[in-house]
Homo-oligomer: A and B are copies of this chain.
Amino acid sequence: QTVSSLKKPLKQNEPCKRLALYYHDIMFNGTNVANATAATVANETRLGDFKFGKLVVFDDPMTKDAQLSTPVARAQGFYFYDMKTDYNAWFAYTLIFNSSDYKGTLNIMGADMMMEETRDLSVVGGTGDFFMARGIVTFRTDAVAGAAYFRVQMDIKLYECY
């Protein structure tokens, strides 16, 4: 029998793998080369008062705890602000694991609706230990220090594991 579409019973509360990590974004201010992990590559436009269009490239540490301890992964990619009436962002990036626990990458994209308590982005692919993975990453802002630093808890839930 031929079926034309798939409806599999995936359950949102039963991922096949789950990792909760903290993302630390330390903005380059022109002088903090040693510490900075992210830099502005295109300035905000004058469309609204919430940095619309500001584009940031990052190579950010991912840690197990909220403290900025030894990273267990790197997050490499970019985000930009994209709303006139509030702070709101859009992300695309790769999580790179190279530890005794995991070697491989996860590729992620989606909207970061910062005014929401939590927001979901898509894990659209993976390599290495995460070969062909798919899933969801739930963002929760954990700390903000003006324009200098912010920290996001990223709760990574994979629903396709191979």
Q: Which residues of A contact B (CB under 8 A)?
A: 2-12, 14-16, 28, 30, 33, 36, 39-43, 45-48, 52-55, 57-59, 76-78, 80-84, 88, 90, 92-94, 96, 104-105, 107, 109-111, 113, 120-128, 131-132, 134-136, 158-162
A134 pairs with B136, CB closer than 8 A: no
The complex is assembled from copies of this chain, and their number is 3
A8-B162, A33-B46 are known; give 14 further A-B pairs, CB within 8 A: A3-B9, A5-B159, A12-B131, A28-B46, A33-B84, A39-B47, A41-B55, A55-B57, A76-B88, A92-B109, A96-B113, A110-B127, A122-B127, A124-B124
Cβ–Cβ contact A7 & B162, under 8 A: yes
Please provide the 3 A-B residue pairs with the shortest distance between their CB atoms, ordered closest to farther. A122-B125, A5-B16, A4-B14
B88 and A107 contacting across the interface, CB-CB below 8 Å:
no
| Cβ A160 vs Cβ B90 within 8 A | no
Residue on B with the closest CB to A83? B59
Shortest Cβ distance from A23 into chain B, in angstroms? Answer: 15
Q: Is the CB of B111 within 8 A of A76?
A: yes
